[in-house]
Amino acid sequence: MEESCKNVYITTPIYYVNDVAHIGHAYTTIIADMLARYSRLTGANTYFLTGTDEHGQKIAQSAEQRGKTPKEYADEVSGKFKTLWDDFDISYDKFIRTTDDEHKIGVQHAFQKMFDKGDIYKGDYEGYYCVSCETFFTQKQLVDEQFCPDCGKPTNIVKEESFFFKLSAYEDKLIKWYEENDDCILPRSKKNEVINFVKGGLRDLSISRTSFDWGVKLPESMNEPKHVMYVWLDALMNYITALGYGSDEKNMNQWPANVHLVGKDILRFHAIYWPAFLMSLDLPLPKHIAAHGWWTRDGEKMSKSKGNVVDPKLVADAYGLDAFRYFMIREVPFGQDGDFSQKALMDRINSDLGNDLGNLLNRISGMSGKYFDSKVTSVDVKKYHQKELDEVEEILDKVELYLWDMQLNRYLEDIWKVLTIANKAIGDYEPWAKMKEGKTNEAMALVALITNIMARVSLLLDSVMPEKIGKIATSIGITIDNATYTSLLKNKELIADTTITKVEQLFPRIEEVLLEQAKPAVVEKNTTEEKSSKKDEVIEEDDNLITIDKFFETSLKIGTIVEAEEVPKSKKLLKLQVDLGEGRNRQILAGIKEFYSAEDLVGTQACVVANLKPAKLMGMISEGMLMAAKDEDGLSLIRPESSKKIGTKIS
């Protein structure tokens, strides 16, 4: 997608009101807000949608447990989401709720239209249903014939009258859409997973329930009062009902969506069910469905029982909202899982924001004030610094491609390359030396070069850190708007004469963590035992314990996966070529195919047991083992928190 699009429509998922907002919700919403703010800056007619999903059996049960009606419970939790996004200054154009009357009208209109087309029919459903995921499964899809393959919770056998959507009729059309639109699903590696699922065969989808009544009723004309719509049919329709579909349709000119942002756990619903529904309604399909990964904390999956859930409001209040926004977007490549730690956040604040960005502004302010009474003119910049300008423009001409390809960390990385050019130029040209030599014009040209670079960077970072960048813009005398964007970034003009004003330190250095660290569960000791003297203390040895010397017999190293491919006829194995810094690659066969695609692994690092005897699997040699952890939520490779030198020993 290009920024010059007349209309830009960006959506988050509508968040299910079964819990309070967490860091994953914040991540999705911050990215959507970034794209919306940038689109508006370019002059696009932008519409940004977020909201809450409030129907379904799980909500009815949660409300009952709290002694509330489903609507009372939904009002309460939805209100908390909206308050958080308002506190975060999220620039949404509409906050939709699936309990809105306009939404219900639009969903009923869509149901009737699909029914009239012959894509919905009545039948009987019997199968396995996960209340937690609001999803139906076949027995083959279950774990141990009982548990949900997505969340691991027990499923229920459901047998009831139901209306079905002819999903199977759209199998070939979906495959054609995937094949003809290279970037309809981002990252592109995720599209292969979706295609393989569809090629495995699609079953018609049960889209109504009679065992509970908390949901959107079927159209009155159908005279089926005991049926409510399946929550995913109801929820997905929000993307068009928010634009007025089925009612006033006043904003339907914004359709199709440019970007649907979703978590990877709900990609199937958005990349299979949703396009099929749209095809049935004869509506255009979205341009991009972008699925991001999950967040852990200090390498561990977050859970209430562990006490390590990250509250985004607490983090933003402690470290600053803009710093939190920057960290979330920069820290992890979009599509991959990310790990939140206060140390990593502090490093980003102190290094990227404090040293590279904040200190550069201080240098502009200091040099202009000391040498030129804070006045800056760009008249000689091209004369003395065309080389630096060309380097900057070459980088900035490409950054928008990263933005709309959902390579958001690359977008920021390239902007920081520009900041490096600016900081390096000060050291290379030494304006203080120019002033001593009487070369005032050259010193002014250098200060003006840095000011122009800061102006361009500010335009590109405003969508990421609007509050701090607003202060930078004020300091260097520019306005963050479409006119300035067009002048400096599209037309590559230089800023007019300006006066630099001093601002407070934007990113003060942080030396210690500001929030209480997550604590491991503590086992209470017997008071009497605590009073016993160390002299009398007896340590009972466990037969499974090993000495430290025994542990160090295992060689653990950091390796980079340079090649990855599936092993034919194997449901579990991937064949990897791993560089451990030995002058050759190791071939390792890893049973992780169910959890990772080959494309996702290339270029990533992993922890490797490096001194295992080679073993033969399916006729192929495996020279090591990747370290991983697996629980009821799936399998995760053990990885270094940040990139490490190939072959680094783990101790």
SS3 annotation, 207-237: CEECCCCCCCECCHHHCCCCCEECHHHHHHC
| 118, part of any domain | no
Alpha helices (runs of H) in 462-538, residue ranges in sequence order:
466-476, 482-485, 527-531
Domain membership flag for residue 309: no
Averaged pLDDT in 10-residue chunks for the chain of 651 residues: 70 91 95 98 98 94 94 96 98 98 98 98 86 76 78 83 96 98 95 94 94 94 95 96 96 97 96 98 98 88 73 97 98 94 96 97 96 97 98 96 95 98 96 96 98 98 98 98 98 96 95 80 38 34 49 81 85 88 87 83 88 80 89 79 81 71
Compute the CA torsion angle 345, 350, 352, 357 (nearest 10 deg).
130
Same domain, 489 and 620: no
> Do 590 and 576 contact (CB within 8 A), yes or no?
yes
CATH code: domain of residue 602: 2.40.50.140
Please check whether residue 356 lies inside any domain of the structure.
yes
* pLDDT attached to residue 571: 78
User: Cis peptide before 275, with omega less than 30 degrees from 0?
Assistant: no
Same-domain pairing of 494 and 399? yes
Residue ranges of the alpha helices (H) in 290-407? Answer: 312-319, 321-331, 342-347, 359-372, 381-404
Q: Which of 499, 529, 557 is the last residue of a domain?
A: 499
pLDDT digits (tens, 9 = 90+) for 133-180: 777 777 777 877 788 887 788 888 878 899 999 999 999 999 999 999
Residue written as token pair 């209100």: 79
* Residues 404, 468 within the same domain: yes
Same domain, 464 and 601: no
Q: Would 410 be classed as within a structural domain?
A: yes
How confident is the model at residue 250, as a pLDDT? Answer: 92
Among 465, 499, 533, give the residue marking a domain's end.
499
As annotated, the binding site for Zn(2+) includes 130, 133, 148, 151
346 is written with which tokens? 């502090």
> What's the CA gap between 174 and 179, in Å, rounded?
9
Indicate whether 85 belongs to any domain.
no
* Prior bond of 508 cis (ω within 30°): no
* Paired strand residues for 229: 208
Separation between Cα atoms, residue 35 and residue 173, nearest integer Å:
30
The alpha carbon torsion through 209, 210, 216, 218 (nearest 10 deg) reads: 90
- Name the DSSP class of 119: -
What is the number of H-type helices and E-type strands within the chain?
Answer: 23, 27
Local structure of 617: helix, strand or coil: strand
CATH of the domain at 447: 1.10.730.10
Residues 558 and 484 in one domain: no
Are 387 and 479 in a shared domain? Answer: yes
Residues in the annotated binding site: 130, 133, 148, 151
Q: Cα–Cα distance between 241 and 462 in angstroms, integer? A: 30
Q: pLDDT at position 76, please?
A: 96
Return the pLDDT at 5. 54
350 and 495 in a single domain? The answer is yes
- What's the pTM value of the predicted model, to 2 decimals? 0.78
CA separation, residue 46 to residues 8, 23, 43, 292, 325 (Å): 5, 25, 8, 22, 21
Residues 361 and 473 occupy one common structural domain = yes
Are 375 and 483 in a shared domain?
A: yes
Kindly compute the dihedral angle of the four CA atoms of residues 393, 394, 395, 401, in this order, to the nearest 10 degrees.
100
Return the number of other C-beta atoms located less than 10 Å from residue 138's C-beta: 9
Give the chain's domain count.
2
Instruction: Say yes or no: 346 and 471 in one domain.
Output: yes
The interaxial angle of helices 440-461 and 359-372, nearest 10 deg, is 150
Examine the domain organization and report whether 478 and 588 are in the same domain: no
If 0-12 CB within 10 Å is exposed, 13-18 middle and 19+ buried, where does residue 437 land?
exposed
Q: By residue range, what is the domain housing residue 439? A: 342-499
Q: Among residues 292, 286, 288, which one has the least CA distance to residue 243?
A: 286
Task: Please give the C-alpha separations between residue 397 and each of 40, 389, 400, 407, 480, in angstroms, as whole numbers.
Answer: 18, 12, 7, 15, 19
Rg (CA), the chain: 28
pLDDT by residue (tens digit) across 524-580? 333 333 333 333 333 333 444 555 555 657 889 999 998 888 888 777 889 999 988
Residues 347 and 482 both lie in one domain? yes
Answer for the pair 319, 510: CB distance below 8 angstroms, yes or no: yes
Instruction: Indicate the residue among 484, 499, 514 that finishes a domain.
Output: 499
Q: CA of 621: how far to CAs of 129, 588, 589, in Å?
A: 42, 8, 8
